[in-house]
């Protein structure tokens, strides 16, 4: 079983749609959680951290369920510029483990 599992997609949605990505992780001792965004042929970039209480950054909402070892990302009112691969990331003591990513394409 992979340490971090994501639905690879692709998700193809129209502009303005709401889309949700899910992720599960296997190591119950994981301490920190993140969503990264990666554009084609670019490096991954931090989108947001994920906290147990849930957190929001504009159109983006992240949730963490430690009991179920489950992380989610919700994107509201999606824009063309949201098209990218979204990587779920789980951190132990110091090293981060990445999911394979979920590809999102937002279409006009």
Partner 1 sequence: DAGVIQSPRHEVTEMGQEVTLRCKPISGHDYLFWYRQTMMRGLELLIYFNNNVPIDDSGMPEDRFSAKMPNASFSTLKIQPSEPRDSAVYFCASNNGGGRGYTFGSGTRLTVV
Judged by the rule CB under 8 A, the positions of this chain that interact with partner 1 are 31-32, 34, 36, 42-46, 49, 87, 89, 91, 94-101
Taking the complex as a whole, how short is the minimal distance between the CB of residue 48 and partner 1, in angstroms?
9
Q: Tell how strand 11-14 and strand 102-107 pair up.
A: parallel
Taking the complex as a whole, how short is the minimal distance between the CB of residue 90 and partner 1, in angstroms?
11
> Could you give the CA distance from residue 8 to residue 85 in angstroms, rounded to a whole number?
9
Q: What are phi and psi of 36, to 5 degrees?
A: -115, 155
Q: Which is nearer to partner 1, 15 or 39 (CB)?
A: 39
Beta bridge partners of 88: 35
Q: Which is nearer to partner 1, 21 or 34 (CB)?
A: 34
């Amino acid at each position: 079983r992979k340490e971090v599992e994501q639905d690879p997609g692709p998700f193809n949605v129209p502009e303005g749609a709401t889309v949700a990505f899910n992720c599960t992780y296997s190591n119950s001792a994981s301490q920190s959680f993140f969503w990264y965004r990666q554009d084609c042929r670019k490096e991954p970039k931090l989108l947001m951290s994920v906290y147990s209480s849930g957190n929001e950054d504009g159109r983006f909402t992240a949730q963490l369920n430690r009991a179920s070892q489950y992380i989610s990302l919700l994107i509201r009112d999606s824009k063309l510029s949201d098209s990218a691969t979204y990587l779920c990331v789980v951190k132990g003591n110091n090293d981060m483990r990445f999911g394979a990513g979920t590809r999102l394409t937002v279409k006009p």
